[in-house]
A and B are shown apart, each in its own frame.
Chain A
Amino acid sequence: MTAATEPSTVDGASTGPGVRISDLTVAYRTPAGELPAVSGINLELAPGSITGLVGESGSGKSTMALAMLNAVQQPGRITGGVIEIDGLGDVLSLSPKQIRAARGGSIGYVFQAAQNSLNPLKTVGKQLLDLGRSHGVEDKRALVRQAKELLSRMGLSGERVLDSYQHELSGGMRQRVGIMLALVLNAHVLVLDEPTTALDMISQANILSIIKDVHAEHGLTTLVVTHDIGVVAEVADRVAVMYGGRLVEQGPTVDVLRAPSHPYTRGLITAIPRLTGDPDVAQPLPGRPPTLGTIPRQGCVFRERCAVYAAGAREDCETVDPPAYDIGAERLVACHVVEEER
């Protein structure tokens, strides 16, 4: 089911570019001082891969996705790091003009609740032309043709959709319009923020298969940001788990799901109710996700909810923020205990 990691065609041109995020830190100004929502993240998106970024509300996943466009809003500020995209350079040091061209140009972004990110006063077609104008597209006919092709590829009638206002489209259709607008200018990097939230299961399955197909056909490098491990399991080759502004675990999706290492990942997977087997196998995770103000300043951010820490408190969990240890097989885990027991 998972899309192939290898390039979709032999010539390198149609494979998505590689993306390397190093040491990314984003802080928000609050009455209590500047607090990091994303701190010291290292993540590499392999060319042509789909990476799933999983986290709960407040984990910093949306902030991180916005940082990919250098579009973090005030009072947030990218305080350090590099986001390097092949063929584009460091997103964070592009000039304002270059970054405007990159947004919606080579980096496509489908916003959280794409359902509500369309202008209710303009038809989809008008918004498409606006997009073309702001990116200096000369050939409007080709743009419309491209849009119609994308829409029909996703099972919609291009004519009808372009003539529609957003209220005339269902949630799943609006989500597809969002994907069309992100890709119509030939983006190579696609970021989808919660692409299936607020959709029912059948529409979700439909959108996920569209994402996989479009990803393969257009030769993209895709980042899917979601709170739902199920979504990641369906589409992503690799998964990165975020908690309290840090990446606590990353690795190939199948391996991480089969044998999660970090106690948080383990807890998340155990908390999913399943359709087969004993329903009581599912167990809730104790505690609640931290907010910007309650993220521990020192030591491991997860320790207050950690079953391993609860079973036997360790000093380094309280004092040292665990770095991402390489545990082999392309997997990284930020946990002292996992590293030590290895």
Chain B
Amino acid sequence: MSGDIEGVGIVKTYKARGDVLAGQTVHALRGVDFRIPAGGAASFIGESGCGKTTLGRILAGLETYDSGRLSVDGVDLSGLRPKKREPYFRRIQMIHQDPYSALNPTRTVDAILTDPLTLRAKQTGRPKSWIAERQREVLSLVGLEPDYVLPRYPHQLSGGMRQRVVIARALTVDPDALVADEAVSMIDVSLRLGILKLLRELRETVGVSVLFITHDVATARYIGADGELYVIYRGEIVEHGPTETVIADPVHPYTQCLLSAIPVLHGLERPGPDRLTPTEPLADSQSDDGCLFAARCPFATDRCRTERPQLGHEGGTEQEHSCFHPARRHVVAVSA
């Protein structure tokens, strides 16, 4: 199965509009490198406004980037004409956060799935009869009963079923990768795990890779414990490595703050002894000099405020990180 996706130095800036910030440049992504192997899993975690959604949109072809290289199977997409680029973006499909607005309310599930399948049948020279067959196939893949959902409208389905329809629709075009941006945050809690489990299983049954974008580290771990975790802060990757390593042994204070913020299930767990909180909230006014996290970091030194750290393995860590003073801290809750 092919479908390695690689990004090198992806930069995206927005020009702010409006009265307050007019003319200011917002750095959504400041040179991000990542690699998602075929069938693998990569998760991007970070706060609101750290650039993780922008990255997902760029991957799905919904957003352009200013500079850098995005390649699928080693083919650099940046240099291609739109017509040539199109087939590559077909291979990366997006699962949106809100299944309520991602489906057209005036169309039945049947119609929602028929359109992309008709296109796909044309592209691959398959007969019309294949469409109905494939419809049932993708619906069974996502755990839905075709006879029940096909004639129904989105409003007749529960949130969990709707999200499954969104996933089924993404699968109609035979993608290599699914980009799931907070894909379960609008779903009822008792149904969330079912969707996460489905995404995990699709990695095996269909061989798609999953790029999971979330602020909830535990869900990222559930989907891709064997994958890679990227911690992104203000458009920069600050820590990256195997998911289990970064969660069990984080060294960047920002990662440690993120992990500390996860609620502790008192009774089942005790809080980690080194639980950390940022000294200040995220603000637009925070300086771009030195380490981007310095203004909120409890351990920042003068060097942090003037010099920008680079990703590396300083201190001999397994994972990459960009901190001048990497230190192991036990922040994750421990089982009681």
Smallest beta-carbon distance A4→chain B, Å: 14
* Complex: A251 Cα to B188 Cα, angstroms: 23
- With a cutoff of 8 Å between Cβ atoms, the chain B residues found around residue A285 in the complex are 190-191, 193-194
Assess whether A56 is in contact with B257, with CB atoms less than 8 Å apart. Answer: no
B91 within 8 Å of A by Cβ?
no
Name the residue in B194, B215, B266, B336 with the highest tally of chain A Cβ atoms < 10 Å from its Cβ: B266
Q: Which of A132-171 contact B (CB under 8 A)?
A: 155, 168, 170-171
Name the residue in A199, A202, A254, A271 with the highest tally of chain B Cβ atoms < 10 Å from its Cβ: A202
Smallest beta-carbon distance A114→chain B, Å: 16
- With a cutoff of 8 Å between Cβ atoms, the chain A residues found around residue B260 in the complex are 205
Name the residue in B20, B161, B193, B332 with the highest tally of chain A Cβ atoms < 10 Å from its Cβ: B193
User: Considering the complex of A and B, which 7 residue pairs feature the smallest CB-CB distances, nearest first?
Assistant: A230-B263, A257-B267, A258-B267, A205-B261, A273-B222, A254-B267, A284-B194
* Complex: A275 Cα to B250 Cα, angstroms: 13
A267 within 8 Å of B by Cβ?
yes
B177 within 8 Å of A by Cβ?
no
Q: Which of B188-244 contact A (CB under 8 A)?
A: 188-194, 196-197, 215-219, 221-222, 225
B118 within 8 Å of A by Cβ?
no
One digit per residue, 1 when the CB lies within 8 angstroms of any chain B CB and 0 when it does not, for chain A 235-269 equals 00000000000000000011111100000000111
A204 within 8 Å of B by Cβ?
yes
> Chain B residue with minimal CB distance to A233?
B265
* Complex: A208 Cα to B260 Cα, angstroms: 13
Assess whether A275 is in contact with B192, with CB atoms less than 8 Å apart. Answer: no
Assess whether A202 is in contact with B266, with CB atoms less than 8 Å apart. Answer: no
- With a cutoff of 8 Å between Cβ atoms, the chain A residues found around residue B267 in the complex are 233, 253-258
- Number of A residues with CB within 8 Å of any CB on chain B: 49
Assess whether B221 is in contact with A202, with CB atoms less than 8 Å apart. Answer: no
Q: Which of A191-228 contact B (CB under 8 A)?
A: 199-206, 208, 227-228
Assess whether B190 is in contact with A271, with CB atoms less than 8 Å apart. Answer: yes
> Chain A residue with minimal CB distance to B222?
A273
Assess whether B221 is in contact with A273, with CB atoms less than 8 Å apart. Answer: yes
* Complex: A168 Cα to B189 Cα, angstroms: 31
Chain A contact residues, CB within 8 Å of chain B: 1-2, 56-57, 155, 168, 170-172, 199-206, 208, 227-231, 233-234, 253-258, 267-269, 271-277, 279, 282-285, 288-289, 305
B159 within 8 Å of A by Cβ?
yes
- With a cutoff of 8 Å between Cβ atoms, the chain B residues found around residue A269 in the complex are 265, 268
* Complex: A257 Cα to B47 Cα, angstroms: 28
> Chain A residue with minimal CB distance to B159?
A57
Assess whether B48 is in contact with A205, with CB atoms less than 8 Å apart. Answer: no
B247 within 8 Å of A by Cβ?
yes
- Number of B residues with CB within 8 Å of any CB on chain A: 48
Smallest beta-carbon distance A8→chain B, Å: 20
- With a cutoff of 8 Å between Cβ atoms, the chain A residues found around residue B20 in the complex are 168
Smallest beta-carbon distance A305→chain B, Å: 8
Within the complex, which residue of B48, B188, B264, B335 is in contact with A200, where a contact is CB–CB below 8 Å? B48
Q: List 18 A-B contacts (CB under 8 A).
A: A1-B264, A1-B266, A1-B271, A170-B281, A201-B261, A202-B47, A202-B258, A227-B189, A234-B263, A253-B266, A257-B265, A273-B196, A273-B218, A273-B219, A284-B190, A284-B194, A285-B194, A289-B188
Assess whether B264 is in contact with A283, with CB atoms less than 8 Å apart. Answer: no
- With a cutoff of 8 Å between Cβ atoms, the chain A residues found around residue B222 in the complex are 273, 279, 282
Within the complex, which residue of A172, A201, A256, A257 is in contact with B262, where a contact is CB–CB below 8 Å? A201
Assess whether B257 is in contact with A276, with CB atoms less than 8 Å apart. Answer: no
Assess whether B189 is in contact with A201, with CB atoms less than 8 Å apart. Answer: no
- With a cutoff of 8 Å between Cβ atoms, the chain B residues found around residue A229 in the complex are 189, 265
* Complex: A276 Cα to B218 Cα, angstroms: 9
* Complex: A208 Cα to B275 Cα, angstroms: 15
Extra contacts besides A201-B215, A227-B189, A267-B190 (13): CB < 8 Å: A155-B281, A201-B47, A201-B261, A202-B261, A233-B263, A233-B264, A257-B265, A269-B268, A271-B189, A275-B262, A276-B248, A276-B335, A284-B191
